Amino acid sequence: MRAMLPHTEGRVDRNGIGLHYEIYGEGPHTIVFVPTWAIIHSRCWKAQVPYFAERFRVVTYDPRGNGKSDRPDAVEDYAVEHLIEDVRAVMDASGTEKATLFGFSFSSAISFSAAARMPDRVEAVVSMGAWTPIVEPFPFRKNVTSETDDGADDAAEKFTYGYWRKDYQDFCQWFLARVHSEPHSTRQHEEAVDWSSEGDAEMLINTQETRIQQGIPITDDTYRAVRCPALLLHGTGDLITPVQGSERIAELTGGELHLIPNGEHAPHARYPAKVNTLVRDFLAKHLGTWKPEPRRRSKPAKRALYLSSPIGLGHARRDLAVTRALREHHPDLQVDWLAQDPVTRFLEANGETIHPASRLLANESAHIEAEAGEHDLHAFLAIRSMDEILIKNFMVFQEALEEEKYDLVIADEAWDVDHYWHEHPELKRAPIAWFTDFVGWVPFPENGPREAFLTTDYNEEMIEHVEGRPEVRDRAIFVGTPEDIVDLSFGEGLPRMRDWIPKHYGFSDYIIGTHPEAFGTRADLRAEFGYDDGRKTCIVSVGGSGVGATLIRRILAAYPEAKAKIPELRMIIVTGPRLDPAAFDVPTGVELRAFVPDLDRHLAACDLALVQGGLTTCMELTAAGTPFLYFPLSNHFEQNFHVASRLDRYNAGRRMIFARSGPDEITLAMLEELKAPRTPHPVAADGAARAARMLADML
């Protein structure tokens, strides 16, 4: 799922060639993202567009030969002269009077050329990894017209017409691996390869042949003619274009040069937080556009910014418990919450303050729902493919800290913050306490070696971050005990989780929103909800996202048989805030509730619960001693490994395999759990207080 969609799409025709463009956002200044070499298209700007479109008008367009633009067959249709004039055509068609041009690699030269030709319409140029004809290219490019098709490891034998025709896909794999050459760039590389599949070898050959036949109308004088401010960004580890190109352009234009140590060819993809910040500040300096300005505090009270995960309300309940316990140490503590619906509804109902920047957050829950199948959520891949949303949300968080001084950031599984602050410690603006109830991505053996490779790569990067920059996390808190760590390895050649995690985390024991011992007697609770009327009350709950619809339908299908076997059965289904109860065909006798704010109290009072495999709900049931069946989502590594291991340790719940759980199996399991409920081990009641003590001395 994308972090933002265009509000306008259009096409402009240039001599029979159609160019597709998109417009995002509104603002007094426009940024036009100029497409690079047609091996990829405008989605390469995905980490920039949603961020800048919050305060700029943003225009993107696809190059001739890729994306949604036309794919002409003639060599002359790819002439550099046409590409320069395409910028003007798109600006005209999109109603853009003036703009900043943002070029990457080949389109750096196009952007500077357009700026030289249209000095009254180009306010600034931003260049990333500049390709330019005014410096010598890397040697691998020199034999491009060769018809050799050997494609050996020698770069010069892959960068040839002959090899492109022989194995276009392998060439793209090789070339784009050089573009995204830094370790842990698997996501950027595989997406670029996907985008390249929309082109072909003959198109690429045409883009090169036209430069040979018609020349490249770009010289030193082209750059000298540029009158607007220029920012040149270049990775010193670039394997595609020499850094000397950006250095020379900076000399000719008087532009600002920023070298990214060891950076690859596409730092805007690999290091978007840093690049976005550099570009934002450059434009603010030269165009007077917006940037965060620190505000003075009106009160001397301590302030904390709390980031609470939007996936399920269990996290919100435990985060609120930690906050209330922390206020016992600091009664005047002001907490602002950066959160999304439905967490914001829960927090507001409890009198908490929502940070106004929360409205700018891209919807993470909707992305997870879009990635889900029939009771199937490949959680690792879903989070991995959420990178566009995560960088957008990180920038919202970062700017909130640049505007407001906070004494502490409390981040409950805010993966974006942890990642980008480790990547760029200079962006850190406040002490941070990092909470999580699991550590380590885990592959499913049946999903093959690729998944094992990717999870190992992500785990290795995390380990490198934590060990290489221990100062980023001022405190890391594992919500549990060392015994709750799953007994697995982080991957081939990496340590075991139970060995590594205790060296880098403190332990709060489990944190529960409100421990059932505070609810009063079970008899009183059952009387309060009317569950003491002789019936067996079964509550079905699937969490705060929309992923659980399939499980609800499966349980509804089992209800008639269960009712026949358990005549005293009363079933209440809580659909959660993101599922419409009207979407379900409900048998007579089943009660549906959209949202129950004190669901934890109902779970402590009922006779049996049927739930998904989320940790917080399962641990609330464990603490209450309520029998329950849990149905982990297929391919959800956390629910199937981390959560299941912890529940086994607590002797809690019966794990059900959804694919093997028809009406007979569900009914039998319900009967057995009601007849002989297990006795779970006690769940700590003071986890929130322990966590608060770990935070108190940070303020």
Q: Which domain holds residue 466?
A: 303-512+689-696
Which pLDDT score is estimated for 385?
96
Higher pLDDT, 524 or 548: 524
Residues 398 and 455 in one domain: yes
Number of domains the chain is built from: 3
Which pLDDT score is estimated for 369?
85
In this prediction, residues 58-86 reach a mean pLDDT of 97
Residues 241 and 321 in one domain: no
* 178-187, 335-344, 504-513, 539-548: segment of lowest average pLDDT: 539-548
Which pLDDT score is estimated for 598?
87
Which pLDDT score is estimated for 697?
95
What residues have CB less than 8 Å from 376, skipping those under 6 apart? 633, 634, 635
pLDDT tens-digit series, residues 429-466: 999 999 999 999 999 999 999 999 999 999 999 999 99
Nearest to 695, CA basis, from 306, 300, 346: 306
* 36-40, 231-235, 298-302, 604-608: segment of lowest average pLDDT: 298-302
Residues 283 and 431 in one domain: no
Q: Does any domain span residue 154?
A: no
Residues 313 and 278 in one domain: no
Distance CA 60, CA 8 (A): 11
Amino acid at 429: R
Helices (H) and strands (E) in the chain, counts: 28, 21
Which pLDDT score is estimated for 217?
95
pLDDT tens-digit series, residues 88-117: 999 999 999 999 999 999 999 999 999 999
Mean pLDDT, rounded, of the chain: 95
Q: Which CATH number covers residue 555?
A: 3.40.50.2000
Q: What is the DSSP annotation of 198-220?
A: TS-HHHHHHHHHHHHHH-----H
Residue 597 has pLDDT above 90, yes or no: no
Residues 466 and 546 in one domain: no
pLDDT tens-digit series, residues 231-248: 999 999 999 999 999 999
pLDDT tens-digit series, residues 500-524: 999 999 999 999 989 999 999 999 9
Determine what percent of the chain is predicted with pLDDT higher than 90.
89
Q: At what angle do helices 549-565 and 663-675 cross, to 10 degrees?
A: 60
Strands (E), 460-575: 475-478, 506-507, 536-541, 569-574
Residue at a domain's end among 287, 313, 347? 287
Which pLDDT score is estimated for 544?
63
Which pLDDT score is estimated for 295?
85
Residue 664 has pLDDT above 70, yes or no: yes
Which pLDDT score is estimated for 315?
87
Sheet hosting strand 8-14, strand order edge to edge: 8-14, 17-24, 57-61, 30-34, 99-104, 122-128, 230-235, 256-260
Residue 17 has pLDDT above 70, yes or no: yes
Residue at a domain's end among 242, 262, 287? 287
Query: Alpha helices, DSSP H only, in 197-313?
Result: 201-214, 220-224, 243-253, 267-270, 272-287
* 9-13, 53-57, 339-343, 599-603: segment of lowest average pLDDT: 339-343
Q: Does any domain span residue 62?
A: yes
Residues 383 and 269 in one domain: no
Residue 633 has pLDDT above 90, yes or no: yes
Amino acid at 562: A
Q: Does any domain span residue 229?
A: yes
Higher pLDDT, 153 or 216: 216
Residue at a domain's end among 224, 257, 287? 287
Q: HSE, CB side, 13 Å, CA atoms: give it for residue 466.
A: 16
Which pLDDT score is estimated for 552?
94
57-61 and 17-24 beta bridge pairing: antiparallel
Which pLDDT score is estimated for 596?
84
Q: Which CATH number covers residue 271?
A: 3.40.50.1820
Other CB atoms within a 10 A radius of the CB of residue 541 amount to 28
Residues 275 and 310 in one domain: no
Write down the residue that tokens 């909470």 correspond to: 435
pLDDT tens-digit series, residues 284-328: 999 999 999 998 877 778 999 999 987 767 788 899 999 999 999
Distance CA 123, CA 429 (A): 31
Amino acid at 624: A
Distance CA 49, CA 637 (A): 31
Q: How far is CA 519 from CA 225, 393, 511, 603, 680, in A?
A: 75, 37, 16, 11, 18
In this prediction, residues 125-143 reach a mean pLDDT of 96
Q: Does any domain span residue 426?
A: yes
Residue 579 has pLDDT above 90, yes or no: no
